[in-house]
Amino acid sequence: MSTYTINYTKLSLLDQNVDTQYQQKDQTNATVDEDEEETRLTSEQLQQLASSDQVRSFLEYPQIRDLVTQIDKAPQPDKLLDAVRKEDSVFEDFVLALLKSTNSNNPTTP
């Protein structure tokens, strides 16, 4: 595998920018997002992810795992996910591999 590095300062700035940008919008939209239910994976999809060699290959990169952790812990994970996908082509390829392995209908970029 090739070397993959991430600029954690840039990720932190992205997270802060995303948080500031959407803080006011989210305060006015305090209800549970209806799309959240649509984004949940089924047991079958989780099994597909677990058995995907391509997904496993991406997860060998500690940087990919760190990004997933950072996004998961972010106050606005969906917004940070979109920002990271736009900034990091390797992470975008990882997301597309996830979508492909779960037979997702919409593997588009944000």
> Worst-scoring range by mean pLDDT, 9-13, 40-44, 76-80, 86-90?
9-13
pLDDT in tens, 77-110: 999 999 999 999 999 999 999 999 988 765 555 5
Distance CA 45, CA 42 (A): 5
| Residue scoring higher pLDDT (82 or 4) | 82
What pLDDT score was predicted for residue 65?
96
- Average of per-residue pLDDT across 35-44: 74
Which two tokens mark 60? 């060998």
Does pLDDT of 54 surpass 80?
A: yes
Q: Is the pLDDT of residue 31 over 50?
A: no
